């Protein structure tokens, strides 16, 4: 299997209300997305994540749960947040929600996981 692209999907919506709702809920301890914790700080994408992402051997793009492509939505089947791989054979689950949780918000931990998994393909 050759991975052409990695696609992360946040457990949040890409609307003004969705973003605001998630931000407030996260601050109050009522909402949580481990992929958001890895890629974003309080208001913007983490510079450490941008650096880690640039070191990956394939493109990494993100979507929110309400704007993900249909083939990605099918592969994830509601298991959010998650990362899928677009391959010549279609879209396949690549990193499960529990695996993102284990990264504890650390971009380098996710980069290491992705790099190791890509090397084993």
**Considering the chain, what percentage of its residues have pLDDT values greater than 70?**
84
Fold of 3-119: Glutaredoxin (3.40.30)
- For the chain, the structural domain boundaries read 3-119
- Per-residue model confidence as pLDDT tens digits over 45-64: 899 999 999 999 999 999 99
**pTM of the entire predicted model:** 0.87
Q: Which has more pLDDT, 120 or 20?
A: 120
- Per-residue model confidence as pLDDT tens digits over 95-118: 999 999 999 999 999 999 999 999
How confident is residue 31, by pLDDT bands cut at 50, 70 and 90? Answer: low
Place of tokens 């709702």: 21
Element at 3 (helix H, strand E):
strand 3-10
Average pLDDT, the chain: 89
Burial (0-12, 13-18, 19+ Cβ within 10 Å), 104: exposed
Identify which of 26, 22, 3 has the alpha carbon closest to the alpha carbon of residue 83: 3
Residues 6+ away with beta carbon under 8 Å from 22: 12, 13, 31, 33, 36
């Amino acid at each position: 299997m050759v991975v052409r692209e990695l696609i992360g999907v946040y457990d949040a919506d890409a609307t003004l209300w969705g973003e605001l709702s998630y931000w407030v809920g996260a601050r109050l301890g009522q909402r949580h997305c481990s992929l958001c914790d890895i890629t974003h700080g309080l208001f913007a994408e983490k510079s450490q994540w941008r650096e880690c992402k640039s070191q990956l051997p394939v493109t990494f793009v993100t979507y929110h749960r309400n704007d993900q492509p249909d083939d990605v939505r099918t592969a994830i089947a509601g298991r959010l947040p998650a990362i899928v791989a677009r391959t010549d054979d279609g879209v396949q689950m690549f990193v499960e929600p529990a695996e993102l949780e284990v990264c504890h918000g650390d971009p380098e931990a996710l980069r290491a996981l992705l790099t190791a998994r890509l090397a084993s393909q």
